[in-house]
Amino acid sequence: MIKLFRSPLSPLIIAILCAAVWSTATFVAPNRGTPWADEVQYHVPTIREFANQFPRFDLVHYNAATTPGYHLALALVLKLTGSDAALRIANACFAAGCLLAVMLACRSRVKWGWVFALALLASPYFHYSALWIRPDNASWMLVFILLALASQPRFTVRKMLLAALVLVLLVLFRHVHLWAAAVLWAAAYLDEDGALLPSRPKLRRLGMMMTLTLPAFAMVAYFVRIWHGLVPPGFQTVSGALPPGHSTWQHEGPNWSVPMFIMALFGLIGSLFLPMIARRLRPVKMAMRPIACGIAIALPIALLVPSNWDESHGRRSGLWNIAQQLPAPMDRSVLLVPLSLLGGAVLAWMLASLPRRARVIAIVTLLAFVAAQTANAMAWQKYYEPFVVGWLGLICAQLSRENDPLTPQSAADPQPH
C-alpha cells in the first residue's frame, strides 16, 4: 500500500477512483439543497439549451452567470451521447482533474500532495460540484494548473505558451479568473533569485507573457461587449420583479466584505496546517515583525467593513452561517474579526518564510484573486475555499522544497533571454 502512494501513477489512480465514486454517487445524491437547485435551475437547462442550439449558440441570453465554456463542453457531451449519465460522468472527471491538479502542483513533496488532496476532499463545496453538475471544479482545475506552472523555479517559453493556452480556457469557463494573468506576468518577470529591479531580459519576458495573455483579455472583452455588462443580462441589476429562475442577488458588486472573509478563511484553514510546517517556518522571534505587519494590515480590513450575517448583502453560507449564531456588535462578528486577524498573522508568517521569488508570486496571487472576487456582490464561501486550500498546498510544498537539500530542483530548459 505504501508503494502505491509513492508511485508516480498514484495521483492518476486516485483521481480515477474518485471519479468512479462520484459518477456512481451522483445517481443517488438527494434531490434537495442549494447544489441540486443550482443544477436543475441553471446549469442543466443551459447545457440542454446549448445542445439544442448546436452549433449556433446564443451566448447572450442563457441562464448562467459566467462565461459559457463549461456548459458548451457538456453540451457537446450531451450532443454526442444523448445521455444524462454521460453529463454526470464528465462533471465527475472535472472534479477528478481538479484533485489531480492539486496533487501534481505539490509534486515536489509527495506528502503535501496527499495532505492537500485530502483537505480538498474534506471541503463540502468541492464535493457539491463533483456530485451535482456545476462549473466550479472545472475552473479550479485550470486555476491550480496555472499556479503550478507559475510556481516553477524557471518559467520557460514552453511554460509561457502552455500557461497562455490554459488561461484562455480558464476565462472561457469562468471569466472572473482573468486575475490569473497577473500571476503569469509576475512569474515571467522574476528571475530565480526574485530580484525586483528591472533588466532587459526581465522586461523582454514580461512583454512576451503580456502579449501571450492578450487572447484571454480579448475573449473577456468580447463577452462584456455582447452582454453590455460584466455578466449575462439576466444576472445584471434589474428593476422590478426578477425574471423567473433567477437569483435574488445579482452578481455585479463590489462587496467590500470579501477581503475580510477570505482572510478569515486563511486564519481558520491555515492555522490547521501550521503545526505540520512549523519546522519549515522562520523562528517566531525572527518572524515577529512580519507577523505584526500582517496583523496591522488585517486590522482595518477586519474592522472597516460589516462582518455580520446579512443575506440581502450576499453575506451567507459557511462561516457566515456560524457567525449568525454569535454576537456581532456594531455589525462586527466576534468570530470573523478574530479569524481575520489570525489570517493576517498566518499569511505573513508563511510569506516571510518563502524565498523571494516564491513570496512575490504568492503575494501577487493573493492580491489579484481578492481584487477579482471583491467585484462579485456575493461573498459566498464556495467561491474562495478551494482556492485557499490549493494556495496553502503550494506554499507548504514550496517551503518543504526550499528547506530540504535532498529535494531535486527543477532541471527545466533555460529561461528565454
- For residue 10, tell me if it sits in a domain: yes
Distance CA 315, CA 125 (A): 16
pLDDT of residue 203 exceeding 50: yes
Contact 264, 333 (CB under 8 A): no
- For residue 417, tell me if it sits in a domain: no
Q: Considering the chain, what is the average pLDDT of its residues?
A: 86
Domain that holds residue 249: 2-237+245-403
For 264, the grid coordinates are 478569515
Contacts of 240 (CB under 8 A, 6+ apart): none
- For residue 416, tell me if it sits in a domain: no
- For residue 411, tell me if it sits in a domain: no
- pLDDT-derived band at 153 (thresholds 50, 70, 90) equals confident
In total, how many domains does the chain have? 1
Strand, helix or coil at 123? coil
Q: Is 61 exposed, middle or buried (0-12, 13-18, 19+ CB in 10 A)?
A: exposed
Closest CA to 165 of 111, 121, 219: 219
- For residue 50, tell me if it sits in a domain: yes
- For residue 323, tell me if it sits in a domain: yes
Which tens digits make up the pLDDT trace of 359-413?
Answer: 999 999 999 999 999 998 889 999 999 999 989 988 888 887 655 433 334 434 4
pTM for the predicted model, two decimal places: 0.88
Q: Which residue has the cell 478574530?
A: 338
- For residue 409, tell me if it sits in a domain: no
Instruction: Give the pLDDT mean for 347-361.
Output: 94
- For residue 414, tell me if it sits in a domain: no
Contact 34, 140 (CB under 8 A): no
